[in-house]
Amino acid sequence: MGQNTRTVPYVLITPACNEEKLIEKTLQSVVKQTVLPVKWVIVNDGSTDATASIVSRYVEKHDWIKLVSLPKRKGRNFAAKVHAFNAGKEGVKDVMYEVIGNLDADVSLDEDHFEFLMNKFRDDPELGVAGTIFTENGYSSAIDSFEGQNYVSGQCQMFRRQCFEEIGGYFPSKNGGIDWIAVTTARMIGWKTRSYREKSFLHHRVLGTADRGILGSAYAYGKKDYYMGGHPLWELFRCCYRLIKKPYILGGMALFLGYLVAFVKGEARPVSDELMKFHRQEQMRKLKKILAFVCTLKRIDSFELMPTEQSARPAALRNKPI
């Protein structure tokens, strides 16, 4: 039997707010792709700079790129990205596609990045969410993260359409964790989620520092770890590990302080009890594997969490409301 060479149709949505310095890098990367999206909707979310005019130049040259402009919002938070994404999704409601992608406006990609990912979706019908590792300012998600290959970073997340609909799309959590909730929910209901190591993309802005510095970002991540339902033992381990990473000592302390403050304040958690239980079970399995690895006297930096092999999704989980 011949090799399956069918092309999987996909669409991209890019929320963008004041991205004039970086968005052209993303535009150039996408228009050079070996397999182009059926439609790419870029949502200008109240930008006060030249973001819209830069995108407009590309819209004139490529009829598959669409610009949607939203008014400037008061009191922006993480949920604003979901609202912008949903506005972009309206622009593809009449388009035939099998995969929908959320692409940040500050990344650069190899020319065959999406061809590679679409082939993965084509070859594995149980694959629900896919992406690749990324690098930024000397950081690599492949070697400096305990998230493992099951987690797909939010800068470039590709969802099988059925999977995205089953999880109910992105949840507009005002304090963040939007991409994490989506990927973890998909895995909880039985979809495979994969961050592939064969490819990578460049993220031009250090993760989480668009509106705050590195320490402020670490503090915010600590708070997010709490209200995403993170297990206290996992957070303790994570904080200790961050003590020996740049910025030394301070990064781990800021992370711990964020978690502690959220705990003392009793921050409301946007995740369901079911998702929190699933998340903590994953964390404890991961922690046991890490500790077993360290007991072999190997450097913890060389630890890599392999993807969880999931079998075909049980019928009871299909089309299950979240």
195 and 288, same structural domain? Answer: no
Secondary element (H or E) of residue 289: helix 273-294
125 and 250, same structural domain? Answer: no
Amino acid 211: pLDDT: 55
Tell me, yes or no, whether 320 lies in a domain: no
Tokens 């999880």 correspond to 167
148 and 292, same structural domain? Answer: no
Amino acid 62: pLDDT: 99
Cα separation of the two ends of the chain: 39
Parent domain of 274: 214-301
87 and 59, same structural domain? Answer: yes
Amino acid 322: pLDDT: 33
Boundary (domain end) residue, out of 175, 203, 231: 203
The C-alpha atoms of residue 201 and residue 284 are separated, in whole angstroms, by 30
CB atoms near residue 240 (< 10 Å): 12
| Mean pLDDT per 10-residue segment, the chain (322 residues) | 78 98 98 98 97 98 98 82 97 98 98 98 98 89 78 96 98 91 98 96 74 84 94 96 92 97 94 97 94 81 62 45 35
Contacts of 65 (CB under 8 A, 6+ apart): 31, 40, 42, 55, 58, 59
DSSP 90-103: HTTTTS--SEEEEE
Boundary (domain end) residue, out of 169, 203, 237: 203
103 and 42, same structural domain? Answer: yes
Amino acid 206: pLDDT: 66
Number of domains in the chain: 2
- Pick from 135, 134, 99: nearest CA to 117: 99
Tokens 């297990």 correspond to 231
184 and 228, same structural domain? Answer: no
Amino acid 74: pLDDT: 76
233 and 175, same structural domain? Answer: no
240 and 162, same structural domain? Answer: no
Tell me, yes or no, whether 277 lies in a domain: yes
228 and 178, same structural domain? Answer: no
- Partners of residue 140 on adjacent β-strands: 135
CATH number, position 50: 3.90.550.10
